[in-house]
Each structure stands twice: as structure tokens, then as C-alpha cells.
């Protein structure tokens, strides 16, 4: 079956990039159509041409997700009246770093495809900067999530610059000290009660110039991975 792929220059629009932090609950990829709809077998398809399978979401009168790429399973939705309102925007829940890319919104009637818009999505690691004075008792590296942390979820604090170190690994209510770099032993802690409410902040006792660097808070959950970046500065 040959499908005629084209886009009309008067209807096609390149949507400028969508930027979102990985900790966001969702992001909307906008796509609004102003032309005439095909009379029969009409559908809206969202694709990522760099993936296999390419289908991110397919909407007929209802969702048809049989050919959906599994990395998007349970994370995409369109308005129930999309084909009536001509608002083909896609909501993507729990965006991951790997979701970054170009998403193409297509109107199809099985014979022809109209490329309505392209959306460039950039998912970023959230970044916070912390400055501590020489002589303070402790430095707090903030990391918060709206998600519920299960007992067996893992929270890992690492330092990525100037050299890689495992700073703290939290699982089942305690620190897995065996995996921790010796430089941070007995100097770091997370508050078990605060973790339950999504506050994964890390305290470092008696910080020095040697603690300066880029820290990454990574939350490993059954369904996804979330990261936040903290840059620690030191002032004498």
C-alpha cells in the first residue's frame, strides 16, 4: 500500500522547541490544525522517526496503541475530541531524558498523510546552585520530587565533577555504606522521615573546598528514572 506523504506549506508549522525538566509531571507537545479533515478513515499520528517502532501515539475516534513504541506505554494522551476540535496536541507524562527529540504530528486518512507540525522536545536535568561559607557545620544539597518513594526505590547521590564518586545510596530506609566512596563516609546523611514526603536532600558535614563540584541526585523507580543536578560552590 502506497501512502502519499506530503505537507502543505500553508498549513505546516514548525513549532519551536519545548523545554522541560525531567522532574515535571507532564509536557504538552502542541499541534493545531486549520485545514479540512479527510472524510473517511481519518487519524492523527505522532511519530519519532529516529525510533523503531516510530509510533508515539495514534488517535482515530479512540486511541489505537497497538503499534505504539513501548517506551511511551501509559504515558501519552490526546484530547477525546481531538478530531472535532482540530487540537491534536499530545500530552507526555513523566518526561525522561531519553524523550528528547523531534516529534512529528501527522493527519492521515490511510492514503495520504499531512505533516501538520514538528515539535523539538528537550528534556533537561533540573539544576540548583548552592554556595557554602568556610566553617559552616553542614551543607544541604536539595532534591525534591512530587512522586511517592516506595521502600525499595533507590536514591543515589553521586558527584560527577571534578571526578566521579558515589556519595550516598539510600534504599529500604538506610544508607548502603558499602557502595559509598570513603571520602563521604560518616559525613553524609538523608532524613528518613523527609524522604517519605519526597524530600531527598543530602547533608554533608563540615564541607571543605574538596567538596566543590557537580552532584547528581538520581531516583530509580520501577517505572522510571529521575535526576536533579546540584552545583556546590565554596566561599572562604
Percentage of the chain beyond pLDDT 90 is 57
Taking the CA atoms of residue 177, residue 179, residue 181 and residue 185 in that order, the dihedral angle to the nearest 10 degrees is 0
Mean pLDDT on 41-62: 94
CA distance linking residue 95 with residue 214, whole number of Å: 22
Q: pLDDT, tens digit, for every residue of 92-111?
A: 998 988 899 999 999 998 78
The mean pLDDT of the chain is 87
Mean pLDDT on 46-63: 94
Mean pLDDT on 136-155: 85
- For residue 129, is pLDDT > 70? yes
Beta bridge partners of 225: 220
Q: Judge if 4-124 and 126-235 fold alike in CATH terms.
A: yes
- CATH of range 126-235; options 3.40.50.150, 3.40.640.10, 2.40.128.20, 2.60.40.10: 2.60.40.10
- For residue 21, is pLDDT > 60? yes
Mean pLDDT on 29-42: 88
- For residue 9, is pLDDT > 50? no
All structural domains of the chain with their residue ranges: 4-124, 126-235
Mean pLDDT on 138-146: 89
Mean pLDDT on 1-28: 63
pLDDT band at 14 (very low <50, low <70, confident <90, very high): low
CA distance linking residue 86 with residue 37, whole number of Å: 9
| pLDDT score for 7 | 46
Q: What pTM was estimated for this model as a whole?
A: 0.64
| pLDDT score for 141 | 96
CATH architecture of 4-124: Sandwich (2.60)
Strand pairing category for 101-108 and 202-205: unpaired
CA distance linking residue 115 with residue 106, whole number of Å: 5
| pLDDT score for 225 | 72
Amino acid at each position: 500500500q502506497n501512502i502519499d506523504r506530503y505537507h502543505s506549506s500553508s498549513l505546516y508549522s514548525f513549532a519551536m522547541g519545548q523545554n522541560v525538566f525531567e522532574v515535571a509531571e507532564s509536557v504538552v507537545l502542541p499541534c493545531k490544525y486549520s485545514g479540512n479533515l479527510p472524510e473517511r478513515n481519518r487519524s492523527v499520528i505522532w511519530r519519532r522517526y529516529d525510533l523503531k517502532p516510530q509510533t508515539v501515539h495514534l488517535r482515530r475516534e479512540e486511541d489505537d496503541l497497538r503499534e505504539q513504541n513501548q517506551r511511551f506505554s501509559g504515558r501519552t494522551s490526546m484530547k477525546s475530541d481531538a478530531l472535532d476540535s482540530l487540537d491534536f496536541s499530545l500530552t507526555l507524562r513523566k518526561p525522561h531524558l531519553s524523550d528528547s527529540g523531534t516529534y512529528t504530528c501527522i493527519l492521515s486518512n490511510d492514503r495520504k498523510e499531512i505533516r501538520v507540525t514538528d515539535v523539538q522536545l528537550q528534556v533537561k536535568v533540573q539544576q540548583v546552585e548552592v554556595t557554602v561559607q568556610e566553617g559552616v557545620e553542614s551543607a544541604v544539597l536539595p532534591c525534591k520530587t512530587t512522586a511517592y518513594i516506595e521502600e525499595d526505590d533507590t536514591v543515589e547521590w553521586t558527584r560527577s565533577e571534578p571526578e566521579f564518586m558515589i556519595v550516598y545510596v539510600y534504599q529500604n530506609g538506610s544508607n548502603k555504606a558499602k557502595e559509598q566512596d570513603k571520602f563521604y563516609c560518616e559525613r553524609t546523611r538523608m532524613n528518613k522521615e523527609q524522604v517519605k514526603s519526597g524530600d531527598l536532600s543530602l547533608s554533608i558535614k563540615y564541607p571543605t573546598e574538596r567538596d566543590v563540584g557537580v552532584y547528581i541526585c538520581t531516583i530509580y523507580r520501577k517505572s522510571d528514572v529521575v535526576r536533579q543536578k546540584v552545583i556546590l560552590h565554596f566561599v572562604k
